[in-house]
Structure 1
Amino acid sequence: MDEPGTDEQRVRRRGGRSWAQGGPDAWKPFWAASSRDRLPWRSTLVLTVIVLGGTAFAQHGQLGQRVPLDAFGRSLLLLGQAFLLLRLRHPVLVAWATAASTLVYVGAGFPYGPVFLTVAVGCFAAIVAGHRHAAWSAIGMLWAGHVVIAHWLYPWLPPSGDHPASWSQELAVAAWVLAVLAASELARVRREQWARERAERKAAEKRRSDEERMRIARELHDVLAHSISVINVQAGVGLALLDADPEQARTALTTIKAASKEALGEVRQVLDTLRAPGEAPRAPAPGLDRLSELVEQARSAGLTVDTVTEGVPVPLPPGVDLAAFRIIQEALTNVVRHSESRTARVVLGYPPRRLVLRIDDAGPATGADAGGSGNGLVGMRERTAALGGTIEAGPRPGGGFRVEAVIPLSGEPGTGPAGAPKESL
């Protein structure tokens, strides 16, 4: 019963690739069987018909010059084809066996013809499989044996009354040998090139997959860490004031509701990119235009944030705008989690071709485990490095903690504004 679906669908169900999809298996000569076949019997059967039929036709033009094809001659031809059935499993053995059987055939005086195609296919398979020296040796042995037979042993070998072959004929045979070797080497080089291209495509796909996974992980971490920190603080306030100041507790619960709603919206946006990769997001990615919302959220968590702009603001590329927002968001989240200070200062600097972000808090650290994963600083470094910038995070002079990031606004990723390599700290 025929398999349902189009040819393309049937090929995909079987795990293969169609001709239209290209690749090393898209087109093959009739003698190059697929490596998935147990034995290349189809191509060998076609080759057997060609060799037997072509030899039978060729002997009519060599009557009186060569021995007529008999049962022994046909057995030698069939023996060579039987060896070709093993060319994918044992290419070295097949190269030598086909060369030897062809040499016996020639020495027995049978007609010239497509018999040499048998050894050509055997040596071709060996070279493509990477056994170059074995194939070269086998075909060299055949040529040398033919020279010895045609110029020295012919008086003692059939047919009787034979004459030595002309050296021009030997040059023609040598040219044929070189053509077979050249075609085989070309096929081998092309096959290795296809293998490298496949490996490079797989590596590139894996790299893109890893980068996308890391990007989504950073987005989810930044969104959830900030929102849950606000929710945690406000939940503590609500519990403390539930009986003493119900109105203030209500305000805390309202803040929790707003923060959780925003977090769910941003998480949904990230997950939408997973469900429909390549499509435009339904909502724009956050940027510095939402810095006031970030400051308000921090204020609802009990943190007073002062923002300062140094220089003339310039339009930012989308990637830089998102990274700047996330870096500030993560830095303020860390202040809420890890610092006893209830104030923070955010400085946005716009020197030529750069964006400078500096987030300071007066400290000191709480000294308690705030439940962080430790991925926040790693994510900030990855974001900055991906844009060719640098970042420093650590204690500042006079106490407290400082996060300072410098992101170039021009140049290729991984380089500074002037093209000089940068290292993330």
Structure 2
Amino acid sequence: MPHLDTTRLRLPTGTGADIALAGVVLVLVGVAEGQRLGSDWNASTSVIGSWLLAVAVCVALPLHRRHPVAVGWLTVIGTGAYYLLSTVDGPLVLVPIAVLYALAARGRTQASVAMAAVMVIGVGAGVLAGTGDVNGTAVFMLTGWLVAVVALGTMRHGRVAYAEEEARLRATQERLRIARELHDVIGHNMSMIHVQASSALHRMQKDPAQAQEALTAIKQGSKEGLQELRATLGVLRQVDEQAPTAPAPGLSRIDELVSSTARGGLDVRIEESGTTSPLPAAVDLAAYRIIQESLTNAVKHSGARHVAVMIHHGERGLRLSVEDDGRGATRSRHEGGSGITGMTERARALGGTLSAGPGSAGGFLVRGQLPFPDHHEPIGGAVDDQDPAGG
């Protein structure tokens, strides 16, 4: 005996569901109208008219997705005319109810409310005229059904709109995150390359040895930048569940960052205080990127020669400060790029704060506070990870 797999049974959706509903309603209307035929199957004009109206309403139902308002009015008016001609209480009213729900679910609330009002007024007028079996109780029940259908459709529209808006927000946040990562990955190395290239061009004729040293630094910096860019793009390309092979940048790699900055002629001093312990992955990455961007800005905009980086490990968070001895707050720092905005967004994403502006003794000062989550898992390789790509 063959086994019936119930998991493969699916109710029709979309146009298929409309056709199925129209077919069922038409069959039920046919059975009800068959009671009006005599033993000789002699159909009167009203019976023929009722049949034609029922067929028109049912045939129009699958078209409501293309012409929702027009089909809605056709089904409402057609159903009303059917009940005026027919003496049986057939199920044709299910068709306009289904159309009203679809209209409300699409956000056409005004049209669906207007059609529901016309249906209630029409039935109420029929009660006052004393037509058929319809009475005040039927009007009350129909009103309740229509209000419920329109309300459910409106709720459905609201939920779909909320889900779409949430999806758009997530996509926007993801684009911003990717843009911020690429900016931080590329910006630092390109800034070092720009400084060294300018130095090489300036010293090419006067001091070939220093020019060659600058070109060597450009070669090394471009290699490291390309490797880090490839690692970042490799993570973005991953579509399976495998974890990335290269560790994420963190404070354990701060020495590499200082070395690359030193090739741009910047003397960086790192001071750490507090109890050093493995950091949450998000805080570790954000701290690294904030320091990286601050050093990049010092090279690009301030003309600084010395930078002091202070890192304090607290029980509930990490405090950072990066201060240089350059020209302070220049116009290009604030208008030339998205570095400070990106640092601020990173801090706020963790519930922290970041400020950037002139230092008390001149130069430029960046201060950030990155709180730890209540329950965090430290990254296992924060202390001794080594990047196989070399940075």
Task: With the length of structure 1 as denominator, give the TM-score of the two structures.
Answer: 0.71
2:246 partner amino acid: A
Contact 2:304 2:327 (C-alpha < 8 Å) held by counterparts: yes
1:287 is aligned, of 250, 254, 268, to: 250
Of stretches 42-51 and 218-227 in structure 1, the one that deviates more from structure 2 is 42-51
Contact 1:81 1:118 (C-alpha < 8 Å) held by counterparts: yes
1:283-334: CA deviations, max 9, x gaps?
Answer: 1110000111111111111111111112112321111111101110111111
1:352 is aligned, of 301, 311, 315, to: 315
1:358 partner amino acid: S
Shift of 1:240: 3.7
Q: CA RMSD in A?
A: 3.6
Contact 1:92 1:126 (C-alpha < 8 Å) held by counterparts: no
Shift of 1:349: 1.1
2:79 is aligned, of 98, 104, 113, to: 98
* Matched residue, 1:223: 185
* Matched residue, 1:264: 226
Cα 1:220–1:303 change in 2 (3 A) is: same
Please state whether the residue corresponding to 1:405 is helix, strand or coil. strand
* Matched residue, 2:271: 308
Distance 1:359 1:28 in 2: 59
Larger Cα Rg: Structure 1 or Structure 2?
1
Percent identity, please.
32
Please state whether the residue corresponding to 2:368 is helix, strand or coil. strand
Distance 2:156 2:331 in 1: 57
Contact 1:51 1:77 (C-alpha < 8 Å) held by counterparts: no
1:188-209: CA deviations, max 9, x gaps?
Answer: 4443333223222221221111
* Matched residue, 1:139: 123
Cα 1:135–1:409 change in 2 (3 A) is: same
Cα 1:366–1:258 change in 2 (3 A) is: farther
Distance 1:204 1:176 in 2: 42
The count of residues paired between Structure 1 and Structure 2 equals 350
Gaps of 5+ in 2: 1-6, 65-69, 104-111, 377-391
Gaps of 5+ in 1: 1-18, 34-39, 107-111, 151-168, 414-425
Task: With the length of structure 2 as denominator, give the TM-score of the two structures.
Answer: 0.77
Of stretches 119-128 and 188-197 in structure 1, the one that deviates more from structure 2 is 119-128
Residue 389 (str. 1) matches residue 359 (str. 2): no
* Matched residue, 2:325: 362
Distance 1:405 1:45 in 2: 67
Residue 378 (str. 1) matches residue 353 (str. 2): no
* Matched residue, 1:203: 165
Of stretches 263-272 and 329-338 in structure 1, the one that deviates more from structure 2 is 263-272
1:383-425: CA deviations, max 9, x gaps?
Answer: 1111111111111112111100011113599xxxxxxxxxxxx
1:125 is aligned, of 78, 89, 99, to: 99
2:76 partner amino acid: A
1:274 is aligned, of 233, 236, 247, to: 236
Please state whether the residue corresponding to 2:198 is helix, strand or coil. helix
Distance 2:190 2:100 in 1: 64
Contact 1:123 1:136 (C-alpha < 8 Å) held by counterparts: no
Cα 1:127–1:136 change in 2 (3 A) is: farther
The higher relative CO (CA closer than 8 Å, separation ≥ 6) is in 2
Shift of 1:134: 1.7
Contact 1:345 1:360 (C-alpha < 8 Å) held by counterparts: yes
2:226 partner amino acid: L
1:144-186: CA deviations, max 9, x gaps?
Answer: 44xx246xxxxxxxxxxxxxxxxxx77xx76666665555544
Contact 1:227 1:260 (C-alpha < 8 Å) held by counterparts: yes
Of stretches 316-325 and 97-106 in structure 1, the one that deviates more from structure 2 is 97-106
Please state whether the residue corresponding to 1:404 is helix, strand or coil. strand
Distance 2:210 2:15 in 1: 82
Distance 1:372 1:98 in 2: 65
Cα 1:347–1:390 change in 2 (3 A) is: same
1:15-65: CA deviations, max 9, x gaps?
Answer: xxxx99x9xx964798x62xxxxxx6x754553343223432x358x99xx
